[in-house]
A = this chain, B = another copy of it.
């Protein structure tokens, strides 16, 4: 019933199981001829090494655990996919523990689940404050990387440079001639939101522009719509930067309903570059984070820890790029 084991391969190839193990792990001191014999036996039997056994003896599996919330959103989903691709290239599998809420208890539980499986390392996509706290009380010996986590915590961290992205978006609008830029933000407890607000403020300050109060949204088109209804009735608003593209979509629809045209009356910039942003009406100028680069960086940081068996304190920041489309124009006056 069970498939062939290493000893079966060894018997067929006329060597010891240890030699089979050496071939499998690419150990150098194996005669070429032996290697071939073993490999032939492997294919003949359709042998597949049992990773559970290996994990048992080495105390570590070739699996990386990812903790994430709401993997339905475009950002997390892209990141997850990129992470999986990159990990696969390095011979690692990825298991996901998605959590409904990002509170301390949920995160800890998710991490626990991963630890029970003796994952080689953990990537936490932890964009909110409370998640950072949950990570404080973690066993210190398991390699860990946080993505978009708290920049102030002493944990290996990879982030999209929210600040620079938001700064560019805002400057792009100011450069078009707008006196100031309004901002529809993400939820208050997300670091992403905070960073984007900060970049927006910086750009306004640098230009000596007035800083209007940020309008708080929650990433969804629905909340964008509500914020948009408010902004649409304020004639002084000529430029809006939303914290993501779905917010922008909601704003777009509200503006449309109030008869304010984009970009003629109001210019708009989003964040994320979801694939359909180019097909909004009008096509949305936005900021594109490089998820592949984030995944690559996270995995590098993680693998470095796994291999050196040390817990590093490195951090990497990936700069996003502005994608200009047709939702930005000069103000009319």
| Complex contacts, A117 vs chain B, CB 8 Å | 51-52, 63, 93
Q: Which of B70, B93, B118 contacts A97 (CB 8 A)?
A: B93
How far apart are A299's CB and chain B's nearest CB, in angstroms?
15
CB pair B221 A51 closer than 8 Å: no
The yes or no answer to A131 lying at the interface (CB within 8 A) is no
Cα(A98)–Cα(B86), bound, Å = 11
- Chain A binding surface SS class: helix
Cα(A112)–Cα(B324), bound, Å = 43
Interface 9-residue window, one of A53-61, A122-130, A233-241: A53-61
Q: Determine which residue in A1, A52, A59, A256 has the highest number of CB atoms from chain B within 10 A of its CB, and name it.
A: A52
CB pair B59 A84 closer than 8 Å: no
Within 8 A of B (CB), among A69-127: 70-72, 74, 77-78, 80-81, 84-85, 88, 93-98, 100, 112-118
How far apart are A246's CB and chain B's nearest CB, in angstroms?
5
Task: Using CB atoms, name the residue of chain B closest to A48.
Answer: B116
| Complex contacts, A220 vs chain B, CB 8 Å | 275-276
Task: Using CB atoms, name the residue of chain B closest to A112.
Answer: B48
CB pair A141 B95 closer than 8 Å: no
| Complex contacts, A94 vs chain B, CB 8 Å | 95-96
The yes or no answer to A253 lying at the interface (CB within 8 A) is yes
Task: Using CB atoms, name the residue of chain B closest to A257.
Answer: B281
The yes or no answer to A250 lying at the interface (CB within 8 A) is yes
Task: Using CB atoms, name the residue of chain B closest to A225.
Answer: B279
The yes or no answer to A31 lying at the interface (CB within 8 A) is no
Q: How many copies of this kind of chain does the complex include?
A: 2
Interface band, chain A: 35 or more
Within 8 A of B (CB), among A29-54: 48-53
Task: Using CB atoms, name the residue of chain B closest to A74.
Answer: B72
How far apart are A324's CB and chain B's nearest CB, in angstroms?
18
Cα(A71)–Cα(B77), bound, Å = 7
> Are A279 and B221 also in contact (CB < 8 A) when A78-B72, A93-B95, A95-B63 are?
yes
Task: Using CB atoms, name the residue of chain B closest to A79.
Answer: B72
| Complex contacts, A49 vs chain B, CB 8 Å | 116
| Complex contacts, A281 vs chain B, CB 8 Å | 252-253, 256, 281
> Are A113 and B97 also in contact (CB < 8 A) when A61-B52, A275-B220, A279-B221 are?
no
Residue-wise, chain A 203-242 has the 8 Å CB interface mask toward B (1 for contact) of: 0000000000000000011101100000000000000000
> Are A93 and B112 also in contact (CB < 8 A) when A276-B221, A281-B256 are?
no
How far apart are A185's CB and chain B's nearest CB, in angstroms?
18
The yes or no answer to A280 lying at the interface (CB within 8 A) is yes
| Complex contacts, A141 vs chain B, CB 8 Å | 1
The yes or no answer to A2 lying at the interface (CB within 8 A) is yes
| Complex contacts, A252 vs chain B, CB 8 Å | 279, 281
The yes or no answer to A249 lying at the interface (CB within 8 A) is yes
Q: Which 8 A-B pairs have the closest CB atoms?
A: A221-B279, A52-B55, A221-B276, A95-B95, A77-B77, A52-B56, A71-B81, A250-B279
